């Protein structure tokens, strides 16, 4: 992990930033908060966290980093969007214009209802972890359609919950709000960072719901 491009950034404009930083730190991955143009230098990957998608899209323009993000993507930057991040990355969003449009999927916002309709579940995703992965859905979107070149990682009932292209990963749920490090490891591998294989899965037994608060104290 000491190669030049071994750092994963987390877009630090709005949303669940610290939770992602905590998971990257637990895996021993070098991380960086991304707020300005200069923060994109030599990144292997970028995580766009959950939050409010319309707000995040506006802030990308206000902070003048949308074009920088797109330019770095065109140079090979890998990107992972969780929940709102998935909406930002989608090529098509039901009833509104897209923001970044980098992955050939169609999403529908708030498909499960209000905050009160949030729920937890689990699923076996063999490409990501040999053990079932806990899933947390909070005002989640649904991926309702994908292009021919999109790899579907998880389909539940009539919607897709996780998918990927060569350079982009999207999840409508929040892996950072569970003790599972599996998706962060999977994204790191997608970014070219190597890990040893564990037969017993990638859940951190030391993780607790408030563990991420330690990252909020690290400016």
Active site residues: 83, 174, 176
Residue 71 host element (H or E): helix 66-74
Cβ-proximal residues to 124 (8 Å cutoff; 6+ apart), any chain: 131, 132, 133
- Tokens at 40, concatenated: 């994109």
Beta strand extents in 13-89 (DSSP E only): 30-34, 43-48, 78-82
Residue 147 host element (H or E): none
Which CA distances in Å does 14 have to 25, 48, 54, 80, 84? 20, 10, 11, 16, 10
Rounded to a whole number of angstroms, the distance between the first and last alpha carbons of the chain is 23
Pairing, β 159-164 against β 168-171 = antiparallel
């Amino acid at each position: 992990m000491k190669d030049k491009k071994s750092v994963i950034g987390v877009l630090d404009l709005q949303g669940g930033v610290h939770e992602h930083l905590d998971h990257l730190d637990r895996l021993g991955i070098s991380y960086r908060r991304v707020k300005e143009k200069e923060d994109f230098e030599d990144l292997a990957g970028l995580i766009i966290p959950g939050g409010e998608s319309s707000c995040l899209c506006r802030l990308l323009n206000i902070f003048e980093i949308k074009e920088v993000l797109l330019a770095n993507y065109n140079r090979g930057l890998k990107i992972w969007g969780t929940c709102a991040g998935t909406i930002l990355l989608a090529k098509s969003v039901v009833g509104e214009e897209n923001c970044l449009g980098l992955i050939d999927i169609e999403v529908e916002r708030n498909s499960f209802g209000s905050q009160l309709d949030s729920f937890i579940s689990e699923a076996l995703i063999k490409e990501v972890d040999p053990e079932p992965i806990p899933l947390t859905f909070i005002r989640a979107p649904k991926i309702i359609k994908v292009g021919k070149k999109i790899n579907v990682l998880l389909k539940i009932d009539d919607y897709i919950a996780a998918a990927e292209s060569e350079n982009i990963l999207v999840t409508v749920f929040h892996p950072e709000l569970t003790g599972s490090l599996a998706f962060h490891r999977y994204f790191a591998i997608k970014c070219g960072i190597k890990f040893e294989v564990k037969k017993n899965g990638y859940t951190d037994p030391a993780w607790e719901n408030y563990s991420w608060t330690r990252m909020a104290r690290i400016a």
